[in-house]
Structure 1
Amino acid sequence: MTLLTKDESLTPRRRPGSTLVPPAIAIATLIALWWLSTTVIPSADSLARQFAPQQVFPAMVQLLDRGVLLPDIGLSLWRLVIGLLIAVVLGLPLGLLIGLSITADRAANPIVAFLRMISPLSWAPIAVMVFGIGNEPVIFLIAIAAIWPIVINTAAGVKAIDSGYLEVARSFHATRIEVLTTVVVPAIRGNVQTGIRVALGIAWVVLVPAEMLGVRSGLGYQILNARDQLAYDQVAAVIVVIGILGFLLDAGARLLLTRRR
């Protein structure tokens, strides 16, 4: 009779492929439902048949041959990065201020609660009025959507710091800058990383409709352009590209932030 150690008896054994089979089944089921709803159910002359999964790859190849897909991906990612950087540069100091100062917290709480509940796309007319047509309003909408998760998570991280650590730092006559750099910033790293990851997801969702505001490039514009031409196979192709890129961005951010913790 073989006796198992405590760790061996409590730790479930993973079967080969156990991490790959469930996602594969889920993806296959989703594609099957997509195929049924766009190929089997609609009538033969329905435009929904252009949206079928078997039309996606040829449409994607067509967009690549036209030389528009890769440049649009590059422009969309560039706008995303710039908007996210602006949100980080503005959101981190604001979150630190709210977390460290009771007065700032009381003053900013109603304003933050009010502004973060406004849909970022509600600012679109104002963004176009102020910045005109081009990259600037898109970047503005991304930044204003992404800043609030960073502010809220940063402030929450500061408030969660054990006051004992701050008292020890002060007992060694540490300056405010030293307390900030040696105690506060290392303690809130996890909260900041979570806030940035959430902000990345929100920014990616806002990016596509923001690129329908007069710019003539980007993935959002490409969806609008394909729709105007009734090329729904290209609409489906761009949507699939957006989903794949979003998945890769989130997976990359999760992997990068997990390694740095």
Structure 2
Amino acid sequence: MKFKTVLNAAIGFSLLVAVWQFIIVTGDYDEALFPPPLKVWEGIISLVRDGTLFTHVQVSLYRFLAGYLSAVLVAVLLGLILGRLPILWNVLDPVAQVLRPVSPIAWSPFIVLWFGIGDIPAIVIIFIAAFFPVLLSTVSAVRKVDRNYLKVSENLEIKGFKVLTKIIFPAAFPYIANGLHIAVGTAWVFLVAGEMVGAQSGLGYLIIDARNSMRLDLVMAGIVFIGISGLLLDKAVGVFEAWINRQWGIGKS
């Protein structure tokens, strides 16, 4: 199955590169304005050789993990509690629905004023981007938990916080995992956008710096690695999801 997955991915990317090259050949585009795959590959090699790529990837991953993991921890904990308190959630839900559509980048002027320049503003932007998808999916998941599970917990005299950790969280996790996947994509997109605005490092900054130097091959190289990194992060969440399910005897061994 894994070999088939790799083979399908290889075929898909090969088709993408072929279409890319076909557009350049038939459109007769200037290489400086629309670099071909070979020129982008040469740009990637140059970024790898001088260490620039790894430096920017490391910085972006640090910011992402700090913001994403903190958002997940806070959102899941709040979601478990609020899902069990429908009266309180009915009051807070309209507030969440108003704040959720606001782009985290819209908060950037306040974030910079409050937290200054550096890694913290990017981490806060990622936190905001990841928080609401996980919170809403967790609350929804908790409210869908089978009531029979709660009756079993009462019979076993499981009370208080243990009900959340031993009964509700395992039952709700498959739905929570959907929010984790959505949050990965959302947070990664806004991380790159945030780095394009005010950062001096990271993959977003790499693209802006290359654009200012009119090195569109490096711009495209940055785009390629943004996509690859996002894919790997989503796969990492999938691995974590499968591991959790195996611990509870849900997934395949």
Do these two structures clear the TM 0.5 threshold for a shared fold by scoring above it? yes
Residue matched to 2:17? 31
Uncovered stretches (5+) of structure 2, i.e. residues with no partner: 246-253
Cα drift, residue 148 of structure 1:
1.1
Identity of matched residues, %:
34
Cα drift, residue 171 of structure 1:
4.2
Residue matched to 2:72? 88
Matching of residues 111-122 of structure 1 within 5 Å:
111-122=95-106
Q: Residues 213-259 of structure 1: CA distance to partner in whole angstroms, max 9, x if unpaired?
A: 32211000000000000000111111111111212222232133123
- Structure 2: distance between partners of 1:149 and 1:133: 27
- Structure 2: distance between partners of 1:251 and 1:190: 16
Secondary structure of the corresponding residue to residue 33 of structure 2: helix
C-alpha RMSD over aligned residues: 2.1
- Structure 1: distance between partners of 2:25 and 2:182: 36
- Structure 2: distance between partners of 1:71 and 1:19: 30
Do the aligned partners of 2:196 and 2:204 also contact (CA within 8 Å) in 1?
A: yes
The one-letter code of the counterpart of 1:47 is A
Cα drift, residue 187 of structure 1:
1.3
Matching of residues 87-236 of structure 1 within 5 Å:
87-236=71-220
Compared CA separation, residues 22 and 70, structure 1 to 2 (3 A): closer
Residue matched to 2:226? 242
Equivalent pairs counted in the alignment come to 244
Secondary structure of the corresponding residue to residue 28 of structure 1: helix
- Structure 1: distance between partners of 2:14 and 2:54: 27
Asked which structure has the greater CA Rg, the reply is 1
Structure 2 residue 61 is the aligned partner of structure 1 residue 48: no
Cα drift, residue 81 of structure 1:
0.3
Compared CA separation, residues 43 and 60, structure 1 to 2 (3 A): closer
- Structure 2: distance between partners of 1:66 and 1:19: 32
Do the aligned partners of 1:116 and 1:148 also contact (CA within 8 Å) in 2?
A: yes
Compared CA separation, residues 20 and 137, structure 1 to 2 (3 A): closer
Structure 2 residue 79 is the aligned partner of structure 1 residue 60: no
Structure 2 residue 240 is the aligned partner of structure 1 residue 256: yes
Cα drift, residue 203 of structure 1:
1.2
The one-letter code of the counterpart of 1:26 is G
Uncovered stretches (5+) of structure 1, i.e. residues with no partner: 1-13
Using structure 2 for the length normalisation, give the TM-score.
0.88
Compared CA separation, residues 256 and 92, structure 1 to 2 (3 A): closer
Do the aligned partners of 1:42 and 1:48 also contact (CA within 8 Å) in 2?
A: no
Using structure 1 for the length normalisation, give the TM-score.
0.85
